[in-house]
């Protein structure tokens, strides 16, 4: 895949995720009385879902593996668009997700959750490592 294709896919996928984060899944424009929803304690939401303190089994799959898997494509596409090392990639991606989470908080169209930043960044890093592993194996075979 060349840079142009990766960029096209990246733009489309990013727009889809932004829709899901701010308008999808029954989200609607908040009124004045809508409270701010947030979690700033690392691993709280992850632990609550993993131990079934909150949600159902379907909620577990949406929140835990879902928040990882849906961001794997970024780890595949961004390195195809530009040459970037893992740590700067992870830091920049975490910052980008932090901004999106803050935007969800301010607009009240979701929940600011530090665990989402952790899971989303983990997903992107898994995509990055997976891509580089496959490329390394491919180069060794040649």
Total residue length of the chain: 142
Per-residue pLDDT tens over the stretch 48-66 = 998 988 888 888 888 899 9
**For a pLDDT cut of 70, what percent of the chain falls above it?**
100
Phi–psi pair at 113, nearest 5 degrees: -140, 115
Which secondary structure element, helix H or strand E, spans residue 38, and what is its range? Answer: strand 38-39
Which DSSP symbol is given to 39?
Answer: E
Query: Could you give the CA distance from residue 21 to residue 107 in angstroms, rounded to a whole number?
Result: 11
- In this prediction, residue 138 has a pLDDT band, given cuts at 50, 70 and 90, of very high
CB-count burial class (<10 Å; 0-12, 13-18, 19+) for 93 = buried
Average pLDDT, the chain: 94
Please report, for the chain, the start and end positions of each structural domain, with discontinuous segments joined by +: 3-23+40-141
């Amino acid at each position: 895949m060349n840079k142009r294709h990766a960029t096209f896919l990246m733009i489309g996928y990013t727009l889809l995720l932004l829709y899901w984060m701010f308008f999808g899944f029954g989200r609607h424009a908040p009124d004045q009385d809508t409270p701010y929803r947030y979690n700033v304690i690392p691993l709280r939401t992850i632990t609550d879902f993993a131990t079934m303190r909150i949600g159902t089994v379907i909620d577990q799959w949406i929140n835990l593996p879902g928040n990882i898997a849906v961001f794997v494509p970024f780890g595949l596409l961004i390195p195809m668009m530009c040459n970037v090392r893992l740590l700067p990639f992870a830091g920049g991606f975490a910052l980008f997700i932090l901004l999106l989470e803050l935007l969800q908080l301010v607009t009240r169209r979701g929940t600011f959750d530090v665990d989402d930043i952790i899971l989303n960044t983990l997903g992107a890093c898994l995509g990055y490592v997976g891509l580089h592993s496959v490329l390394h194996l491919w180069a060794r075979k040649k």
